[in-house]
Amino acid sequence: MPFARDQEFERSGNSPRTILVVEDEILIRLLIAEHLRDCGFKVREAGNAAEAKELLVSAGPIDLVLSDVNMPGGEDGIALAHWIVHRHPMIPIILTSALPPTRGTNFPFLAKPYDLEAAVALILLLLRDAATGG
């Protein structure tokens, strides 16, 4: 998959996209973040919604957010997603969990454990749609 992704961005002239991975379980976060880096993405990591908001405000452009639904702290991934929609409406959001969310289901969803190639395919689709206004 890294080869296909690199060729796609090479042809389009775009620089690597930045993905914010929001996941409180460190091993899961490391797994998906490393795979995304291997596919040519830049990756920022946050362990909860508060860290994610901080990065979204101060860390430069974020092209897509991949967030767990269930996280410790005052906000879960669904609340974070709604915050992003209001503050950064052009950023695509993917929610993920071992169980489908019972609310906020208008966001694309990835079930855990991840199918890494399916995750990358969904990310590429959402980035392409965002770039074309779709």
In this structure, is residue 43 part of a structural domain? yes
Indicate if the pLDDT at residue 86 is higher than 80. yes
CA atoms of 63 and 80, how far apart (whole Å): 15
Q: What is the CATH number of the domain that holds 75?
A: 3.40.50.2300
What total of structural domains would you count in the chain? 1
In this structure, is residue 3 part of a structural domain? no
Range of the domain at 120: 12-132
In this structure, is residue 1 part of a structural domain? no
pTM (whole model) above 0.85 = yes
Burial class (CB in 10 A: 0-12, 13-18, 19+), 22: buried
In this structure, is residue 6 part of a structural domain? no
Indicate if the pLDDT at residue 105 is higher than 80. no
Query: What amino acid occupies position 53?
Result: K
Lowest mean pLDDT segment, chosen from 15-19, 40-44, 67-71, 101-105: 101-105
* pLDDT one-digit tens code per residue, 25-70: 999 999 999 999 999 999 999 999 999 999 999 978 999 999 999 9
CA separation, residue 56 to residues 12, 95, 112 (Å):
25, 16, 24
What percentage of the chain reaches a pLDDT higher than 70? 85
In this structure, is residue 74 part of a structural domain? yes
